[in-house]
A and B are shown apart, each in its own frame.
Chain A
Amino acid sequence: MRLPPFLYLAPRTKKEAVEMLSRHRGTVGIVAGGTDMVNRLRQRLVSPAYVMSLKGVEGFRGIEEQRGRLVIAAGTTLREIGESQAISASFFALVEAAGLVAAPSIRSMATIGGNLLQNTRCLFYNQSELVRSAAPTCLKDGGQACSAIKGARRCSSVYQGDMAPVLIAFDAEAVLRKAGGTRRVPVAALFSGDGTHPLTIEEDELLTEIRLPFPRGAFASSYRKLRMRSGLDYPLASSACFLSLSKKGVIDRARLVIGAAGPAPLAVEGGAALLTGVRPEEADPHAAADRAFREAGAIDNLLLPGAYRKKMVKVVARRAVEAALAGLRGA
């Protein structure tokens, strides 16, 4: 299938890029790695007048340490993240997650920024124009209907990004730049929870960096992903876990985040609370995972039924917690 025609923008600096986003506000589709946007163009899910490629933007790739934080430029590829010693040492689950995305040749092109800012997905929405024309226009596509839940008035399309749950577990921040200035938000705040407009980034904003505070002391992290095949597929349920130990050997910080169970990653505060304040040997992964199960929603809008995916949230959450606990023993 051919791509629809568009006008091409190729900024060389971040300043140029945000000026273009401002000048052409609302009519620009951004291509970083191209692994998400090019497909959406091909399917006519979006038809922007302009397509802006970030591939030539100076300083848009790279990983560096800056005063207690690891700073990852938004254009850094998933392959580079997977191979980074610096990330592996302090943010191991990020390496795990990056290595589980899609396939090797996609990871060579895809960027962390693009993976983070991917749109939500649904079996009925992510189809070509021709296939979508066979059903009434759905809520996410600008219509009134829903092919997943008849009569639904809210869109339950699923956020299937692999990097977001892990970044949230590490309390990462996103730096958003526009022509007027810059703002920083916790990665968790990038998600609205609304399947129709799932991201809170503005049309004239560019994600430039992700900043992760270095964990201190003894800590461990993990990411577990359920998919049909052992490669290529988006997650059907996923979980990130971060645990750190106080000097007395008690878990003092716990994060449990679920992915692919709704329009936004889900931070399971109750599950994390159960893991906090106890020694690793006393921690109960099953109880924490059960909290995740209770809070997660999943409907029949992906390849596997919602009821099954909800049950699997408990399994991946338990596995992620167990892996993090095992990591603490080795830390």
Chain B
Amino acid sequence: MEKKTISLSVNGQVFSVSTYVHKTLLEVLREDLGLTGAKESCGEGACGSCTVLLDGLPVRSCLLLAVEAEGRAILTIEGLASGPRLHPIQEAFVEHHAIQCGFCTPGMILTAKALLDDTPHPTEKEIRRALSGNICRCTGYTKIVEAIKAASRGEP
């Protein structure tokens, strides 16, 4: 089995990882770097729980080979908070009860961050469209959308 040593830039830090070429970015993040915020759920890129940001855009880390992520800036959910201070989107999710089991949450928050970075004041329609690739089995999405609206208004 072929191995490669690659350099991955994750949350502003550069890691040198020796990995099998057939490992996905999701597997390397979780197993080699201990960053378990990104989750495997559907195993086919349909649910969004594996979402990370690659150069600011949300991608399915379960569909990316780790070796293909070399040279790109990767942001995982662990990279949002500054020490004990949560990111405003994370605060909004907490305040608005947008988290139940929490499994979809990292993907939802990162997708929301990418949206708000691109469109600081999205309409509800734009929010729902941006989230259309992230599935939640618990909340029914209402509170998630509310939390993102609040975050876009600079509210907690």
Known pairs A3-B23, A5-B2, A104-B58; A35 contacts B63 (CB<8 A):
yes
- Give A240 to B46 CA distance when docked, in angstroms: 25
Known pairs A8-B21, A38-B24; A104 contacts B132 (CB<8 A):
yes
Known pairs A103-B48, A105-B57, A108-B58; A38 contacts B65 (CB<8 A):
yes
Q: Is the CB of A6 within 8 A of B132?
A: no
Q: Is the CB of A53 within 8 A of B22?
A: no
Sorted nearest first, the 4 A-B pairs with minimum C-beta distance are A103-B133, A231-B132, A8-B21, A105-B58
- Give A79 to B55 CA distance when docked, in angstroms: 14
Q: Is the CB of B130 within 8 A of A104?
A: yes
Q: Is the CB of A8 within 8 A of B4?
A: yes
Give B43-68 as 1s and 0s: 1 = Cβ < 8 Å from A's Cβ atoms: 11110100100100111101111011
- Give A232 to B135 CA distance when docked, in angstroms: 10
**Residue among B20, B21, B62, B130 with max Cβ neighbours from chain A (10 Å):** B21
Q: Is the CB of A105 within 8 A of B4?
A: no
A51 to chain B, nearest CB (A): 8
B15 to chain A, nearest CB (A): 19
Beta-carbon nearest neighbor of B130 in chain A: A104
- Give A317 to B20 CA distance when docked, in angstroms: 47
Q: Is the CB of B129 within 8 A of A104?
A: yes
Chain A positions 112-147 with a Cβ under 8 Å from a chain B Cβ: none
A100 to chain B, nearest CB (A): 11
Cβ of A7 < 8 Å from any Cβ of B? yes
Cβ of A106 < 8 Å from any Cβ of B? yes
Known pairs A7-B2, A108-B58, A109-B63; A231 contacts B21 (CB<8 A):
no
Beta-carbon nearest neighbor of A229 in chain B: B132
Cβ of B111 < 8 Å from any Cβ of A? yes
Task: For B20, list chain A residues within 8 Å (CB).
Answer: 5
- Give A10 to B67 CA distance when docked, in angstroms: 10
Beta-carbon nearest neighbor of A103 in chain B: B133
Judged by DSSP, the binding face of A is: loop
Cβ of B1 < 8 Å from any Cβ of A? yes
Chain A interface, number of residues (Cβ within 8 angstroms): 31
Cβ of A31 < 8 Å from any Cβ of B? yes
Beta-carbon nearest neighbor of B53 in chain A: A105
Cβ of A42 < 8 Å from any Cβ of B? yes
- Give A251 to B72 CA distance when docked, in angstroms: 49
Q: Is the CB of B132 within 8 A of A232?
A: yes
Task: For B130, list chain A residues within 8 Å (CB).
Answer: 104
28 interchain pairs (CB within 8 A)? A1-B43, A2-B23, A2-B27, A3-B23, A4-B22, A6-B2, A6-B22, A8-B4, A8-B21, A8-B65, A34-B63, A34-B64, A35-B63, A38-B45, A38-B62, A51-B22, A53-B65, A53-B67, A79-B57, A103-B46, A103-B48, A103-B132, A103-B134, A104-B58, A105-B48, A105-B133, A106-B45, A106-B63
Task: For A1, list chain B residues within 8 Å (CB).
Answer: 43
- Give A199 to B58 CA distance when docked, in angstroms: 31
- Give A222 to B43 CA distance when docked, in angstroms: 33
Chain B positions 89-120 with a Cβ under 8 Å from a chain A Cβ: 111
Known pairs A4-B22, A5-B1, A231-B133; A109 contacts B59 (CB<8 A):
yes
Give A187-211 as 1s and 0s: 1 = Cβ < 8 Å from B's Cβ atoms: 0000000000000000000000000
Quick one: which of A7, A34, A79 contacts B65, CB cutoff 8 A? A34
Q: Is the CB of A31 within 8 A of B65?
A: yes
Q: Is the CB of A109 within 8 A of B60?
A: yes
